[in-house]
A and B are shown apart, each in its own frame.
Chain A
Amino acid sequence: DTGVSQDPRHKITKRGQNVTFRCDPISEHNRLYWYRQTLGQGPEFLTYFQNEAQLEKSRLLSDRFSAERPKGSFSTLEIQRTEQGDSAMYLCASSPGQGYNSPLHFGNGTRLTVT
């Protein structure tokens, strides 16, 4: 069990650029989640995958955001035309099992700064 891995750890980009983040969940975890956390707040849900299927998306996920999990393993989160308001920590989590009784395991996050 190597834990949830996220890459990069930090990303600084200029407004209007596109960025892509990667998440590698714990192997054999079929559930994968993306969260966003701004300073002083708790993590906010963005989207959820069961294997390769994206089953839930938050209203926070505007049309500039897209997430994929093409083979049911790693996932990517892309932000197009970044805005300063996108500056945040982006957290990925995975969990095993089919029901609700599955604890979340988080990666170390990707901290995005949009200048």
Chain B
Amino acid sequence: GIQVEQSPPDLILQEGANSTLRCNFSDSVNNLQWFHQNPWGQLINLFYIPSGTKQNGRLSATTVATERYSLLYISSSQTTDSGVYFCAVPNTGGFKTIFGAGTRLFVKA
């Protein structure tokens, strides 16, 4: 099945800093999602981005499907951005969506 790798595994930022999270996947995909899991465990949709670039406030994402990676940009980070960021892609030939191991972000005040 498809492999999903996220980097870095852990990230500590000072409030106001910018960051880039990366997601690499081992096979071609026709969709990709980024999620934020808050400290209470809730998985929140950030982006559905099979290709191209999307922006939502301080967050933006870019997927380059031909090169099998996606990037999530966080600008002017806030303490409420803390949590775990997951990317997820559909498995080849099946119905399930495969998640990466996540990037754990802590934003210090």
Report the minimum CB–CB distance from B12 to chain A (whole Å): 17
Given known A41-B101, A42-B101, A100-B90, contact A105–B45 (CB-CB < 8 A)? yes
Place the interface of chain B in its size category: 20 to 34
Q: CB within 8 A of A103: which of B33, B40, B96, B98?
A: B33
Q: CB within 8 A of B99: which of A43, A100, A103?
A: A43
Q: CB within 8 A of B95: which of A43, A48, A91, A103?
A: A48
- Which residues of A sit under 8 angstroms from B101, Cβ to Cβ? 41-42
Complex: how many Å from CA A37 to CA B18?
Answer: 29
Chain B interface (Cβ < 8 Å from any Cβ of A): 30-31, 33, 35, 40-43, 45, 48, 50, 86, 88, 90-91, 94-102
- Which residues of B sit under 8 angstroms from A108, Cβ to Cβ? 40-42
Name A44's closest neighbour in chain B (CB-CB).
Answer: B99
Secondary structure of the B side of the interface? Answer: loop
Report the minimum CB–CB distance from A19 to chain B (whole Å): 18
B48 touches A55 (CB 8 A): no
Complex: how many Å from CA A44 to CA B99?
Answer: 7
Report the minimum CB–CB distance from A42 to chain B (whole Å): 4
Given known A56-B94, A56-B95, A100-B31, contact A111–B41 (CB-CB < 8 A)? yes
B31 touches A48 (CB 8 A): no
B97 touches A101 (CB 8 A): no
B96 touches A106 (CB 8 A): no
| A74: interface (CB < 8 Å) | no
- Which residues of A sit under 8 angstroms from B45, Cβ to Cβ? 103-106
Report the minimum CB–CB distance from B24 to chain A (whole Å): 14
| Selected A-B contacts with CB under 8 Å, 19 pairs | A33-B97, A42-B88, A42-B99, A43-B88, A44-B99, A45-B96, A45-B98, A55-B95, A58-B96, A91-B43, A100-B31, A101-B50, A104-B88, A105-B45, A106-B35, A108-B40, A108-B42, A109-B41, A109-B42
